[in-house]
Structure 1
C-alpha cells in the first residue's frame, strides 16, 4: 500500500497487533506550535479519533500553516506509546541520502567544505520521509483513513488562513534566501514581491492539489506519482542528483526506542539515527546520583553539573553516533549507568572541565537536525510524541514547482568532512559520513516518560543541537523540581554542547547565578531563546498541556 510501496509490508511483522477502537468522544490533550493545528487535532479527539489520528492530522495541518518547519518535504521521528498493549514503538521517517551521494560531495577540489552546497543547493535535500512516515503510523495505530486525516490540511491550503505576525516576520527575514528560487517567490510572496502581512489570507492552491492527490491515491502518489515527477523535475532542473528511483525506494523504518530509567520513571526516546534519545538518557544517568531538587532550579550548582554532563555526552556524539543501519552504534554502553558513573567521577564541582580535556569516552568496556514538535495523548492510553523538520527554517528554500511545498536541507546534518562543525556547531565523525541511502544523524528527541507503566510525560522540542538539552530540562523540571507542565516548559534554559567552549543561557537566569558560574570559570553567553517544547503531563487521569511561549503561535488544547 505504501511508499516506497513496500514500506507497510516491510513493517507488518513489527507492528502486528490490534488497532485502537476508542469510544466516541475520546478525552485527551494536544499541544502543537500552531493554534490551527491544535484546533483540528482537538476536533479529531472530540469526534472519537485517537491520539494517532489527531497527531497525523496535526502533522499535515502544520505542513500548511507553518511552512518554515511543518512539512511534507522533510522528515522526522514519531514515538507511540500504547499502554493498552504495553508497548512503545519508534517510527523513523528521517530523510535518506540519494543513491548517488558520496562522502566528499560538499567539498571543493582542495578538500574544504563549501557550506552553500550542503545548505542552499538542490543537492542539500535528502529524500523526504514525512508522507510515508505519517501514513505508516495512521495505517497501524489510527482509525482514520489517510483522506480523512488530510481533509483539514486540504481545506487550510485551498481556502487559506489568516497569517499571524510570526508567519509574516519569517517570510520577511527569509526573503533573500527564498526569492533566489522563482518557485518559492511565486508560492510565498505576492505578485508584487511583498510578503503577506499579519491579518491577510494566505492561499496555497498547488499544495492543496498535492494533498488532494495524496488523499485520493495514497502515500505512493508522493513517491511514484505526479508529485514525484514534480519533485524530481525541480531538483534536477537545479542540478540536483536525486532520482525517481530514490523516491520510489524510500521506506520508513520501525525501530525500538532507547530506554532508560531516572528516579523510578521509565524514559523512552528516539533511537539512532537520532542521537537525542541516547544522550538524554546518558545525561540523566550522570545526574541521577545528585540531589538536583535540593540543589535548586537553575542554581549555579545545578547548572554546573548539567553543563559537565552535557559536554561529555556531546563529545561522545561526535564519535559514536550515526545511522545504525550503516554503523555499529554502542547503544548499550552509552546508556549504561556504570559508564555514566565513570563520567560523573570526572566532574570537578568547583571548576568546569575545559572542553580540550574532554573527548569521546572509552565505551568499549561497557558493551555487554528549524523543526517543530507536537504531542498528543488520549484516555485510551495512547500517546504520540512527534518531531519533524526541514532542518533550517524553510529548509533549502527551494519549493517544488507545481506542488507547492519546500524541500529540506538535511544533507547538512551529515559530516561533510569529519571533524568540521555543521551549521549548529556540532562536530561529526566517520560514523556520520555521507553514504548513499544513509540517514543523516539528528538531534530530534521525541520522548515519552512513563510512571508505573502508564504514560506520564509526552515531550520533545525543535531547536537543532539544543533539542536534546531542551527536552532534558523539561523532564528534569517535572521530575526533579516538581513543576507543573506549563512552568516546566516556560522555565529559562541552558545549553552546553562541548564545542564551542561556552555555556549558553537564555534570558531569565539570575545575574547572581551568572556571576557564580563565571567565577567558577564558565564562559557564560546569553543568546536567543532555545527550543519550543510542546508537552503534555498526565496525572491521576488528568491531562495538562504545556504550550511553549517561545513560539507565539503555540497552543495546547484539551477536552
Structure 2
C-alpha cells in the first residue's frame, strides 16, 4: 500500500540546443561538464570533469575509489567504443578470510550465503582495486583535448567548498548511519557526535556542508601529478596504507598493475536501429539478448502496449535467467539501494558518451580512507563467496557488473543512455531503448513514460501509472507487483541520457531525482 498522492505530477523539461549537453544525477556535476564544453572541450573532456565532480557531490554513489565503464561515439569516425574500468579483487586476497555463515543470507545487494561478520560487504576487507581514475586516464589519453589538471579543477573547487547537506543528502546519510558509525573516519565525515546524521533542519534554511578538504587535497595532487599517482605514487601509498591499517588486503602492487581497457562494444542491428551495448563484464550481453527476443515478439504500433510490455518483461526475464546461470550473478534484493551514478554527454560536434561508475553499495564499504578523504568501494561483494561457481570469490579476478552504458542510432537520431540501480539498470536501458527505437519517442517523452522492471527474473514490477491491461498481460508471464515511481526508495532504476537530431542536442535525467539535471553549455 502506498501513502503517496495520486494527483501529484512530476515533470522535467527537456530543452534542445545547438551546443553540447551534460545530463547527470547531480546538477553541479552537470554544470562542471557543461562549462568544459562551453570552453571548447570535447565530450570526453566534459565526461572526465563530470566524473570527478560527481564523486564530490554524490560521494556515496561513486568516485575515484570505485569503477565502471563508458560507451562512447566518435562522430567524425562514425565509431563506437567501450572503455572498461571495472574493479578487481586484490592479488593477495585469501578466500579463507571470508568464512561462510550458513545461518543466513548476506545483508546487502546480493543474496549470497552470508560471510561471517559481513566481511565481503562492510569494512576494508570488502575493498577491491579501484578503476575509475584509470578509466578517465585512458579516455583522456585517447580523446582528451583539455589539460588534465583543468578537468579536475571544478571537482577540487567543489570539494574545497564541501557538499551541501540538503534534505535529500540528509535522507541518504540517515539511511546508512548505523554502518557509517562503525568507522571513525566515515563517522567524522558524515555524522555528528559519531551517531547522528549530519542533517539539515526541518523548517529552517540551513547551510551545512561536509568537510571535504582532504578529498580536495587528494584531487589537487592527482591534478598536479597525473592519474598514475593514484596507482604508482603518493596517493597509491596512502590508499594501500589506509586499507591495510583497517584490515584489508589492497597493496601498492595491486594498484600499480591496474590498467583500464578499450574494446569494441557489442553492436547489433535492432529493427531499423543500430545499438552499441557495452563489452566485457557488463549487462551488455543481456541487453543484446533482450532486444533480439523482442524483435520477433511483437510489431511496434504508435505507442507501447500491453503486448510490447509483456514482450519486454518476458525477454528481460529470460536474459536474467541466462545471466544467473552463466555469469554467476544470482541476483539482488529488488529493494536494496545500489551505489551507482550515471551521466551522458554530447558535444556540439555530435561526439557522445555515457559513463556509469559506482562504489557498488550505498556508501561503498562504509569506510573512509583518512589520508585521501574518500569513501572506499565494496567491490568484493560482487563475488559469490561460495566456491566452484563462475563468479566465485578469488584473488586477482575481475568483478561482474550490472552496468549498461549504451549508444544507439535510430530514425536519424543518436542517443547515449545509462542508468544506476544495480540489476534494475538493464530493464531501464531496455525500456528506454525500446521507447526510442520502436515507438519513435523523443527523449522527454521516453523519460516520462512509465517503465517496468523484471530484474528479479521471477516476476515484474509495474509502474502504478500504467493501465491495468499491462499488468494483466505481464501476469501471464509471471508474478506482478505494482509500485509507485518515487524519490526514495527507487522501485525502478535512475537513468540519464542525451540525444542528437538534425545537429541539435538535448539531455534528460530520471524525473524523480531531485538533484538530476541536464545542463547546456550555452547556459553557463
Q: TM-score, normalised by structure 2?
A: 0.85
SS of residue in 2 equivalent to 1:140: helix
CA distance in 2, matches of 1:494, 1:121: 34
CA distance in 2, matches of 1:130, 1:45: 21
SS of residue in 1 equivalent to 2:219: helix
Deviation for aligned residue 1:34 = 0.4
Does residue 318 (structure 1) correspond to residue 324 (structure 2)? The answer is yes
Residue-by-residue CA offset, 1:466-515 (whole Å, 9 max, x unaligned): 1111101111111112222122123222122364x321223322345334
Structure 2: runs of 5 or more not aligned: 1-16, 104-112, 201-205, 330-337, 484-489
Number of equivalenced pairs = 476
Which residue matches 1:172? 174
2:237 to 229, 244, 256: 229
Deviation for aligned residue 1:241 = 1.4
Deviation for aligned residue 1:517 = 3.9
Residue correspondence of structure 1 range 312-351 to structure 2 within 5 A: 312-321=318-327
Maintained 8 Å contact 2:313/2:474: no
CA RMSD of aligned residues (A): 2.5
CA distance in 2, matches of 1:139, 1:516: 49
Deviation for aligned residue 1:103 = 5.3
Which residue matches 1:553? 515
Does residue 509 (structure 1) correspond to residue 466 (structure 2)? The answer is yes
1:293 to 295, 300, 311: 300
Residue-by-residue CA offset, 1:114-139 (whole Å, 9 max, x unaligned): 17121113121110011111121112
Maintained 8 Å contact 1:122/1:239: yes
Does residue 481 (structure 1) correspond to residue 439 (structure 2)? The answer is yes
Does residue 433 (structure 1) correspond to residue 392 (structure 2)? The answer is yes
CA distance in 1, matches of 2:294, 2:125: 41
Maintained 8 Å contact 2:460/2:478: yes
Residue correspondence of structure 1 range 18-417 to structure 2 within 5 A: 27-102=19-94, 105-108=97-100, 113-114=114-115, 116-190=118-192, 193-197=196-200, 199-274=207-282, 276-294=283-301, 296-297=303-304, 299-321=305-327, 370-417=339-386
Maintained 8 Å contact 2:339/2:361: yes
| Higher RCO (Cα < 8 Å, 6 or more apart) | 2
Could you say if the C-alpha distance between residues 199 and 511 of structure 1 is closer, same or farther in structure 2, counting changes exceeding 3 Å?
A: farther
CA distance in 2, matches of 1:532, 1:292: 28
Residue-by-residue CA offset, 1:166-196 (whole Å, 9 max, x unaligned): 1121111111111110010112234575414
Which residue matches 2:5? none
225-234 or 438-447: which moved more? 225-234
SS of residue in 2 equivalent to 1:557: strand
Which residue matches 2:8? none
Deviation for aligned residue 1:66 = 0.4
Does residue 530 (structure 1) correspond to residue 492 (structure 2)? The answer is yes
Could you say if the C-alpha distance between residues 261 and 137 of structure 1 is closer, same or farther in structure 2, counting changes exceeding 3 Å?
A: same
Could you say if the C-alpha distance between residues 205 and 267 of structure 1 is closer, same or farther in structure 2, counting changes exceeding 3 Å?
A: same
Residue-by-residue CA offset, 1:49-81 (whole Å, 9 max, x unaligned): 111111100000001000111311100101121
SS of residue in 2 equivalent to 1:504: strand
SS of residue in 2 equivalent to 1:254: strand
Could you say if the C-alpha distance between residues 555 and 185 of structure 1 is closer, same or farther in structure 2, counting changes exceeding 3 Å?
A: same
CA distance in 1, matches of 2:273, 2:78: 15
Maintained 8 Å contact 2:56/2:159: yes
Does residue 471 (structure 1) correspond to residue 429 (structure 2)? The answer is yes
CA distance in 2, matches of 1:48, 1:39: 14
SS of residue in 1 equivalent to 2:87: coil
Maintained 8 Å contact 2:350/2:500: no
Deviation for aligned residue 1:106 = 3.2
Maintained 8 Å contact 1:124/1:408: yes
Residue-by-residue CA offset, 1:249-292 (whole Å, 9 max, x unaligned): 11111121111111121111211211x11111111110112445
CA distance in 1, matches of 2:396, 2:448: 39
CA distance in 2, matches of 1:39, 1:109: 46
Structure 1: runs of 5 or more not aligned: 1-24, 324-368, 419-428
Which residue matches 1:5? none
CA distance in 2, matches of 1:554, 1:529: 17
Residue-by-residue CA offset, 1:444-471 (whole Å, 9 max, x unaligned): 000000248x870110101101111110
CA distance in 1, matches of 2:299, 2:377: 39
Deviation for aligned residue 1:516 = 5.0
CA distance in 2, matches of 1:507, 1:233: 49
Residue-by-residue CA offset, 1:303-355 (whole Å, 9 max, x unaligned): 222222112111211233379xxxxxxxxxxxxxxxxxxxxxxxxxxxxxxxx
Greater strand fraction, Structure 1 or Structure 2: 2
Which residue matches 2:109? none
Could you say if the C-alpha distance between residues 109 and 537 of structure 1 is closer, same or farther in structure 2, counting changes exceeding 3 Å?
A: closer
SS of residue in 1 equivalent to 2:419: coil
Residue-by-residue CA offset, 1:528-555 (whole Å, 9 max, x unaligned): 4311111111111111211211211000
Maintained 8 Å contact 1:102/1:434: no
